[in-house]
Structure 1
Amino acid sequence: MSVAFNPPPGWPKPPAGWQPPAGWTPDPSWPPAPEGWQLWIDDSAPNAAPTSLATTEHEKVPADADSTFYAARIAYLEAENAALRQRGAISDSPDASIELDDARVLQDVGIYRYHHPLESAAAYQERLADLEARIANVIKSDRAIAKSELFTFNNSLAQGRKMTSDLGKLMLRAYNAETDNALRTLRAGNVLTAKRRLEASRTAIARLGALMEMRIDDAFHELRIEEIELTADWLMKKQQEREDAREERARLKEEEKVRRELEEERAKLDKERAHIAYAIDALAAKGEEDEDLLRRLAIIDEAIVENDFRAANVRAGYVYVISNEGAFGHEVVKIGLTRRLRPLERIAELSGASVPFRFDVHTLYFSEDAVTLENELHKHFASRALNQANSRKEFFFATPGEVREVLLEKVGNLLEFTEAAAATEYRQSRGAWPADISR
């Protein structure tokens, strides 16, 4: 009797006539063989089943094949599909693979683009609910798997249809499991990886079911691809809405601080003015006059006018240019706006626990239309923004000197601008860093 080695699914196929050397054991990284798998089979019998049971569309099933053969084939298909899914790379070509590094995929595809633009996350949820109902309807109506209706088993068309139906359910379960796994692990940016894996799973199922002309129906596959796209869009929209809400809360909080500062400043000015006015009136009753008190009263009146203007004009404020060499490097600046009466307090807040070192201030420029000035600076350096996916961030690849030149073009004159960053904490810290830390 002549026997041949019969590798289980997921094992490499040895050369013809291969015999295991003494003490040979399978590689532990190979998937386990299905229960009851025969590693050695008789290949001398005229009606022996195909060695690997991986029958292709060009191979013929033995005329006297019985239920044992088909049961073994179903076990083979199930085991091979599980092994391929475990490896995460299924393809007709042995050299093909799927890029599973989400970081690399995100870098390759660039900025996220919506597949199905909708107004809100709630709108995506409604669309997904409708899509899920359509997917369920296709499955219930047995239209998810395309298969031959002419396959016979034991010379019986009815038994053949029963067998294709059972095998189709198995394949559909594997395909849906792959889809559900992709949906569970989906994040806002890795949709391309998920779609590639689903395409690979569909290709593998079409190859394994070629004998019975069995494959995932095109329309059903498109529905599940759309489900992945909509879910990714929903995740991204939800993330954007959370960021918008967070920034809106921060804006309102900042506006409230500004309002309180202006109110407190106005109360302080009113109190001081009342004291000076009382003193002036008292002197006037005696027929006396104090020039110093009159000058102080005029200064306070100007401060009150300015304070009222700041309270009424939400566009007035300070445009600041700051940097943090220790955190972002020496050619990165932040260009922002604050309406605070004491803008350095805002810079101190930005220098909190979220960054390792304090920010250095290059300029604080007061403008009656600071909003427009800030927008113009942001537009000028837009192509050099660190975060190209979120235009609301305010960090740019630019030196303080480059920003100074643009700012001079916009305003004509700057009273104070410091180009060199002191970066005191950063420079003091570098000398104490571990020797193996890259500097």
Structure 2
Amino acid sequence: MGLIFNPPPGWPKPPPGWQPPAGWTRDPTWPEPPAGWQLWLSDDATAPSEAVEPSEPEPVATPEQNPNARVAFLEAENAELRRALAARDGDQPIELDDARVLQAVGIYRYHHPLESAAAYKGRLEGLETRIADSIREGQAIVKSDLFTLNNSLAQGRRMTTDLGKLMLRAYNAEADNVIRSLRAGNVEAAKRRLEASRTAIARLGALMEMHINDAFHALRIEEIELTADWLMKKQEEREAAREERARLREEARVQRELDEERARLDKERAHLTNALDALRAQGRDDADLIERLAAVDQAIEQNDYRAANIRAGYIYVISNEGAFGLGVVKIGLTRRLEPAERIAELSGASVPFRFDVHALFFSEDAVTLENELHKHFAARALNQANPRKEFFFATPGEVRDVLLQRVGSILEFTETVEAAEYRQSMGAWPQSRRSDGEPPGRSLGPG
């Protein structure tokens, strides 16, 4: 009757037919065998032995045949798992709070840079096919083919196959749930969550040497990264499309204003010309009418220039102390004939108080000037995730100094403003909100 070596939990599995050489001892890094563990089993599993050497068999019952041995085995396995858990270092709680994760990692960095959301969608579809192929080909989970059940290798294989399906289903369910709850920016938390699920599943399958395949896990991690990239790219494209629509609406409005102004000037010029022609037919002239006609001609020339030169416009520097606190300005561009109308729009229902104007500066190349100002204060932008926003941690005086460097002189610039609506309203606020005399947004300052 032959004997088969039965390695305890945590020991490597020897090749079939292995016999210990003379003087062999276990590796000291291997865990102690559980109490009552049988190192040698008979080849028919009917008369196992506790002897360490195959020459000294002592028939005892297997854990499956002896309930006490089974309990001892489970207790030993539990103790081994607890020892392994205690020995693990560097484990950190999984952070699932999107806002805190975003704050910790800063600006989003793409894992797989692609040009468009459609490109990400195509890549994801290809990845889903590879994931399905791995499952269909049985490469998603690693399992032992040598485990026996009721002394039957075939039954053992069926059991490991069924258990593998359950473990894989649990893992995939967690992966799908992670992807469904994924938000642009919390990808690191999602990956740690799936890794924790994989580790827990591996612990449950440790006795039968079962775990999720590394290559399959890498595919699902890539799926999380691609999904996060896709979500971020979609968000960027939506914002870009919304801003482009706003830009087109603004350009259309400016064009209507220029067309209406040109029609008004043409009408006024026609009246002045008719009046002068009538006077000259009588042999008279009118210096005032001639001066007004020259002014109208100049206005028509300027209007035509504005219509032809889309880069011309007004740079505005505005602030809203009641909404954003001191030291925050908005630097923007408008091509309106009346730039104050644009500022009035910005002072609508989205902010509690009207914006105060520090400067309105006309430039023939306002687009370039605005870009230069934005680049100069880019590191101090309130919104570091979206560079298209125009609010900056800067004082009006700092913006004035940069403007002077770029254009040489400014006719009018107001460094301090009244912020009338804010100061009038603050007196009626609850005592708890006005005790320090600061607006709600004061904490947004760079300090």
Question: Normalized against structure 1, the TM-score is what?
Answer: 0.80
- Residue 266 of structure 1 aligns with which residue? 262
**CA drift at 1:239:** 0.5
Shift of 1:357: 0.7
Q: Which amino acid is 2:318 matched to? A: I
| Cα separation, partners in 2 of 1:55 and 1:419, compared to 1, 3 Å | same
Deviates more, 1:416-425 or 1:255-264: 416-425
Secondary structure of 1:232's partner?
helix
Q: Does 2:170 correspond to 1:174? A: yes
Return the match for 2:106 from 95, 105, 110.
110
2: CA distance, partners of 1:107 / 1:54:
44
Tell me whether 1:294 sits opposite 2:316 in the alignment: no
Moved over 4 A (4+): 50-54, 56-59, 91-96
Q: Aligned pairs, how many?
A: 365
Change (3 A) 1:190 1:145: same
* Aligned-partner Cα distance in 2 for 1:366–1:275: 30
Shift of 1:436: 2.4
Q: TM-score with structure 2 length normalisation?
A: 0.79
The 2-side partners of 1:341 and 1:280 are apart by 29
1:361 equivalenced with 2:357 (yes/no): yes
Mark the CA change 1:223 to 1:431 in structure 2 (over 3 Å): closer, same or farther: same
1:208 Cα shift? 1.6
356-365 or 93-102, which moves further after superposition? 93-102
Q: How does 1:181-330 map to 2 (within 5 A)?
A: 181-330=177-326
Match of 2:149 among 134, 141, 153: 153
Distance verdict in 2 for CA 1:414–1:233, change over 3 Å: same
Q: Which amino acid aligns with 2:184?
A: A
Match of residue 24 from structure 1? none
Structure-2 change in CA distance of 1:370 and 1:94 (3 Å): closer
Which one has the largest radius of gyration?
2
Q: Does 1:402 align with 2:398?
A: yes
Q: Contact 1:92/1:203 (CA < 8 Å) preserved in 2?
A: no
CA displacement 1:186-224 (0-9 Å, x = unmatched)? 011111110000011111111221111100001100100
Q: Distance in 2 between matches of 1:314 and 1:161?
A: 75
Paired position in structure 1 for 2:380: 384
Identity %: 73
The answer on 1:47 being equivalent to 2:43 is no
CA pair 161-383 structure 1, distance change in 2 beyond 3 A: same
- What do residues 12-60 of structure 1 show as CA deviations (whole Å, max 9, x unaligned)? xxxxxxxxxxxxxxxxxxxxxxxxxxxxxxxx9642424867836969x
Whole-angstrom CA distance in 1 between matches of 2:71 and 2:90:
24
* 1:94 shift after superposition: 11
Partner of 1:21: none
After superposing the two structures, state which structure 1 stretch, 132-141 or 258-267, moved more. 132-141
Q: Residues of 1 paired with 2:330 and 2:103: CA distance?
A: 24
Q: Unpaired segments of 5 or more residues in structure 2? A: 1-65, 82-86, 439-447
Shift of 1:99: 1.6
Q: Name whichever of 214-223 and 199-208 sits farther off.
A: 199-208
TM-superposed CA distance for 1:162, in Å, is: 1.0
Structure 1 residues 97 and 50, CA gap change in structure 2 (3 angstroms): farther
The amino acid of 2:192's aligned partner reads: R
SS in structure 1 at match of 2:392: strand
2-structure distance, mates of 1:354, 1:261: 25
Paired amino acid for 1:274 = A
CA distance in 2, matches of 1:313, 1:410: 20
Read off the aligned partner of 1:433 and give its amino acid letter. W
| Counterpart residue type for residue 207 of structure 2 | L
Shift of 1:433: 1.0
Q: Distance in 2 between matches of 1:420 and 1:234?
A: 45
Q: Structure 1 residues 58, 436: CA separation in 2 closer, same or farther (over 3 Å shift)?
A: closer
Quote the offset at 1:97 in angstroms: 1.8
Cα offsets for 1:240-295 (capped at 9, x unmatched): 11001000000000000000000000000000000000000000000000000000
CA RMSD of aligned residues (A): 1.9
Distance in structure 1 (CA, Å) of the matches to 2:312 and 2:351: 28
Deviation of 1:421 (Å): 2.0
Q: Secondary structure at the match of 1:202?
A: helix
- SS at the partner of 2:157? helix
1:421 equivalent in structure 2: 417
